[in-house]
Amino acid sequence: MKTRELGKSGLEVSALGLGCMGMSYSYGVPPDKAGMVKLLRTAVDLGVTFFDTAEMYGPFANEELLGEALAPVRGKVVIATKFGFNIDLKAPRGLSGVNSRPEHVREVADASLKRLRTDHIDLFYQHRVDPAVPIEDVAGAVKDLIRAGKVRHFGLSEAGAGTIRRAHAVQRVTALQSEYSLWTRGVEKEILPLLEELGIGLVPYSPLGRGFLSGKLDERTEFAANDFRRNMPRFTPEAMRANRALVDLLAAIGKKKNATPAQIALAWLLARKPWIVPIPGTTRLSRLEENLGAAEVELSPADLREMDEAAGRIKVLGERYPEALQRMTGL
């Protein structure tokens, strides 16, 4: 597996990481834990060194899963986790609003260290911006954790340009994690140039559009009652039918490159900037192997121009999130 540096931070990771949320949370009934431990260890064997989790995934279960699976290889891997929510197991999705008060950040760090069975967190993201807490205070809290040796790098998620600048002035921001894919391109106009200017890496989550860009879903797909895509605007039958044009584009390019739509979608991200590290998630070995194969797909400048021009003619139907979730999390 090829490696990449996240911005100019010195943090080197595999060119493709592994988003682990779906192993414990959001996509229907969680898979068997023993199977997920095996998958995580297989990912390491295949060259993955970058694993993404959060206290809210479960809640808590995903960090515990990674702690168990990665403990034997802890020195070989980079673990990213997140703070920034009040966890309430009785609330919808286990959350009751954002919380980045410095004392809460410290509490989350200590609890995450125990669940992850480690003495340090490689990359500690603020999961969502807390409008009630100045970002300077948040960055200062993480800076203290870095000085204490509990955290190595600071990250932000879904933050705007002004917030990124202010945080970076207090404590270097190593990476921004935001949704980015062929059907979610909001970071391109303002955020990508800022990250390049400041030397910050980008970690795109949902780089396969929560599975849609793989070509495995269509308007006939039935989601489980506890699969959060069931209530997402882009996953209505009407939206999936309209957005199929993007999958057709990926398939057409893939036919030329002997690659799958998922591999083309990931290769497109890898080709944008050398400091972009996507974190596709999966619970299946065959999908893991398919995704990692994207690192070997070469897209030329002409390929990228063709894709951008074609994608520009496709109007994506549906918002990223339902309105209620967007209000609660600031997504």
Residues annotated as catalytic (active site), given as ranges: 57
**Beta strands 151-157 and 121-126, pairing class:** parallel
Of residues 96, 152, 147, the one with CA closest to residue 125: 152
Place of tokens 């509990």: 150
Place of tokens 């340090």: 120
Task: Give the alpha-carbon dihedral of 302, 308, 312, 314, to 10 degrees.
Answer: 100
Burial 242-273 (b: 16+ CB within 10 A, else e): bbbebbebbeebbeeeebbbbbbbbbbbbbbe
Instruction: Check: CB of residue 283 under 8 Å from CB of residue 315.
Output: no
DSSP for 141-172, written as a single string: HHHHHHHTTSEEEEEEES--HHHHHHHHHHS-
User: How far apart are alpha carbons 317 and 331 in whole angstroms?
Assistant: 18
Instruction: Check: CB of residue 126 under 8 Å from CB of residue 100.
Output: yes
- Give every CB contact of residue 44 below 8 A, 6+ residues apart in sequence: 70, 73, 76, 77
